[in-house]
A and B are shown apart, each in its own frame.
Chain A
Amino acid sequence: MKAFFSPALRVASHSLRLHLRDRFFGLFLLFSLLLIYSSLLVGVMAVYQERRALVDFGLALMELMGLAFCVYASATAVSSEVETKTIYLVFSRPVPRHSYLLGKMLAVFGAAAVLLAATALMHSSLLLLRGHAPDGPYFAALAYSWLKLTIISSLVFAVSMFSTSSLSSMVIGFILWMLGHFAPETVLMAAQAAGEGSLLELLARLIPNFQLFNFKDALDVRGAAAPPLAALPYAAAWWAGSYGFAWALLRRKEF
């Protein structure tokens, strides 16, 4: 176990530092903060619904900027090391490929958490300033956003192992993100179009259901305040599946 986790944690801590020092991370963070600050205008326009507008708009912005960062970071995490040949310096050492992959994925998860935490700090401060203290469900909604981001990151990692360029991995990532918000509808349409148990329906089922994680939609709905705990093992299954698929491809690659 030590031989598996020790190199993974070393790769993760190094890669996390690189993400946090990356110009793009800084730009995503700065842009998120600007957008969140400008969301004050939306709150003003909403008049009696100011809290709801500020919370909804802020959480959505944080998630979108997190998505942009995660898709970019996951798509380029391995390919940039292949292009610069730094991967030679890693794989010529006693670093198993499965540990390397795990380390890279954990680093993106960690960077996404830092990005969400930094933007949430600013957002919470604005909410407090306007007299709307953020509550437990607000932070639960943030945690579920992070889970969504980790799932899409794992999927983009898996895609980047067979994709011909980082750009195509990113495009596929965004498409999966959009489809994932209509997963049940997509499965239903596939079953209606090609019949139940068809290949199309099976493929539609290979899209993660991101609706499960949209706890932020339920924040202002009476009686729907309990976070969906079933989403946790569901997220874990997607991490494991994507990681396994990515590893199966990476272990065969020659550089």
Chain B
Amino acid sequence: MNRAAAVEFDGTGKIYYLPRLGRPQPLEAVKDVSFGIRRGEILGLLGLNGAGKTTLMKLMAGLLSPTSGSVRVLGSDPRDPESRRRTGFLPELPYFYPRYRPAEALAYYASLSGMDRAAAAPAVSSVMEKVGLAPHAGKRISEFSKGMMQRLGLAQALVHGPDLVILDEPASGLDPIAIHDMRVLITGLREEGRTVVLSSHSISELEKVADRVVMLSRGSVVSCVESGAWRGTEGGLEKLFMEAVR
């Protein structure tokens, strides 16, 4: 295990078994993936639909177990409670109980991360301020727009102060101003020393925030590029991506 690595995939594979009459049909979502994520970097996962981005994120969050190979997160198994305590996960299009107010939802998730009430209350206020939800504290979640839901999703991933933040399509469905705010937030996380992994369909978004991008196609890593590579190339990350996946 590389001590500088926040996450390490080593020959990781994941097969889903789709229910079919008689015999379940295997679907290989991730094939023999090996790469590491350095502590304190922003790593982007880029790929077409079905490339395996979400599966890799779920493996990191400990929601799935690899069929082959291994995954290590912050030096331990991602299903280990200590590793989960230090990880924050934002799924794509998160949902929250509509009758709750944002602080109630965040207090619940903070408590599930092992925070007691005394520690959770200031953490909730601080994270609401950070993601820009403080002015909407009095509203019910049912009154929230998509952008506000996404901010709340990010807040629940950050409320317990994780070292590793996994964000699945954080800019999905957001308007340009919300996308800008999200970008500022994500780069701010790196400045705080946190490791950020994010997936996106938007090449331009990853180009702006990521230090490194791992490109995936049909469950395999086809390329891994540092930010210097696309910044010094005409056509940028898009050209590199097209070359890699075609």
Q: List chain A positions with a Cβ less than 8 A from chain B.
A: 3, 7, 10-11, 14, 18, 21, 84-86, 88-96, 254-255
Contacts and interface: CB of A to CB of B under 8 A. Distances in A.
B87 interface: yes
B94 A89 contact: yes
Ordered nearest first, which 8 A-B pairs have the shortest CB separation? A94-B81, A92-B89, A84-B95, A92-B61, A94-B84, A93-B112, A88-B91, A10-B111
A90 B84 CA distance: 10
A7 B110 CA distance: 11
Interface of B: 16, 58, 61-65, 81-82, 84-85, 87-89, 91, 93-97, 99, 108-109, 111-114, 156
Contacts of B94: 85-86, 89
Given A88-B61, A94-B81, A21 B111 contact: no
Contacts, number: 58
Given A85-B95, A94-B81, A254 B112 contact: no
A94 to B, nearest CB: 4
B65 A89 contact: no
B91 A85 contact: yes
What DSSP secondary structure best describes chain A's contact surface? helix
Contacts of B16: 254
B64 A10 contact: no
A88 B82 CA distance: 17
A94 B85 contact: yes
Given A88-B91, A94-B81, A94-B84, A7 B64 contact: no
Given A18-B97, A85-B94, A10 B112 contact: yes
Nearest to B80: A94
Given A3-B81, A10-B111, A92 B62 contact: yes
Given A21-B99, A86-B95, A86-B96, A91 B65 contact: no
Contacts of A85: 91, 93-95
A95 B95 contact: no
Given A85-B91, A254-B63, A254-B65, A90 B97 contact: no
A94 B77 CA distance: 12
B191 to A, nearest CB: 24
A88 B63 contact: yes
B62 A91 contact: yes
Nearest to B88: A92
Contacts of A84: 95
Contacts of B63: 88, 91-92, 254-255
A90 B95 CA distance: 12
Contact of B64 (A11, A21, A96, A254): A254
B86 to A, nearest CB: 10
Nearest to B85: A94
Contact of B91 (A7, A89, A93): A89
A255 to B, nearest CB: 6
Nearest to A7: B112
Contacts of B89: 88-89, 92
B109 A89 contact: yes
Contacts of B87: 92
A7 B62 CA distance: 17
A204 B63 CA distance: 37
A93 B113 contact: yes
A228 B11 CA distance: 60
A199 B240 CA distance: 64
B61 A14 contact: no
A254 B87 CA distance: 19
Nearest to B112: A93
